A and B are shown apart, each in its own frame.
Chain A
Amino acid sequence: DVKVTQSSRYLVKRTGEKVFLECVQDMDHENMFWYRQDPGLGLRLIYFSYDVKMKEKGDIPEGYSVSREKKERFSLILESASTNQTSMYLCASSLLMWTGYQPQHFGDGTRLSIL
């Protein structure tokens, strides 16, 4: 079974802090994704990566950056945390879609509170 592991289930940080959310997958997937999930807004894509050191902006990249130095690890960085970044953050991975359909596999999420 594919396992996507997010480093923290719950995290509390202060406004202005630099925050790192880590995600590791164990199935050699090329694609990795970061979403945030808010009530009434569903899942919104922040960034995704289809290879090491490659990244693409999603729908809401402002205030975030990402790092993918190794294939199995994809980090989301909040450069200067703000209260409107309080949310549930979900990481996912998948094989490349042009090899045929591939579902996304999700971690259990990190519930981040910015005070």
Chain B
Amino acid sequence: SQQGEEDPQALSIQEGENATMNCSYKTSINNLQWYRQNSGRGLVHLILIRSNEREKHSGRLRVTLDTSKKSSSLLITASRAADTASYFCATDPLQGAQKLVFGQGTRLTINP
């Protein structure tokens, strides 16, 4: 069953603006990961945040994790047209036995 639920399902912003996507999950986790998928392609790993971390940065990406609320957010700053893609959160459950559980994704469109 799907554990991660992304919000919003779709987001459209102007180039240069910041984009924020949220993910909620249900069970305790080892870590939470974010992936990007360009249209018609496979997923590409972006960033991981462990359950004992609250915030992580990688270039223009900032991820936060609130384990008490079982939620995470992905912020993309100074968006570019090339950031247009679908973004998925994936949880590594404590009892996951080597499996990730993916959400349904947020479709992000950056308008030039």
Chain A residues near B (Cβ < 8 Å):
4, 31, 33, 35, 40-45, 48, 50, 56, 58-59, 90, 92, 96-97, 101, 103-109
Set of chain B residues within 8 Å of A90, measured between Cβ atoms: 42-43
- The answer on a CB contact under 8 Å between A45 and B42 is no
- The answer on a CB contact under 8 Å between B104 and A101 is no
Closest residue to B96 on the A side, CB-wise?
Answer: A97
The one of B2, B42, B92, B99 in contact with A42, judged by C-beta atoms closer than 8 angstroms, is B2
- The answer on a CB contact under 8 Å between B102 and A59 is no
- The answer on a CB contact under 8 Å between B45 and A105 is yes
Q: How extensive is the interface on chain B, given as a class? A: 20 to 34
CA distance A103 to B92 in the complex (A): 10
CA distance A102 to B103 in the complex (A): 19
CA distance A40 to B5 in the complex (A): 11
CA distance A58 to B2 in the complex (A): 12
- The answer on a CB contact under 8 Å between B42 and A103 is no
B108–chain A nearest beta-carbon distance, Å: 15
Q: How many A-B residue pairs have CB under 8 A?
A: 55
CA distance A42 to B103 in the complex (A): 6
Chain B residues near A (Cβ < 8 Å):
1-2, 31, 33, 40-45, 48, 50, 88, 90, 92, 97-105
- The answer on a CB contact under 8 Å between A58 and B40 is no
Asked, given contacts A40-B104, A42-B102, A103-B48, whether A108 binds B42 with beta carbons under 8 Å apart, the answer is yes
Contacts A42-B2, A103-B45, A106-B43 known; list 6 others, CB within 8 Å: A40-B104, A41-B2, A92-B43, A104-B90, A108-B40, A109-B40
- The answer on a CB contact under 8 Å between B41 and A31 is no
CA distance A56 to B96 in the complex (A): 12
B40–chain A nearest beta-carbon distance, Å: 7
CA distance A16 to B45 in the complex (A): 36
Set of chain B residues within 8 Å of A40, measured between Cβ atoms: 104
- The answer on a CB contact under 8 Å between B48 and A97 is no
CA distance A4 to B40 in the complex (A): 15
- The answer on a CB contact under 8 Å between B45 and A108 is no
CA distance A13 to B105 in the complex (A): 28
Closest residue to B105 on the A side, CB-wise?
Answer: A42
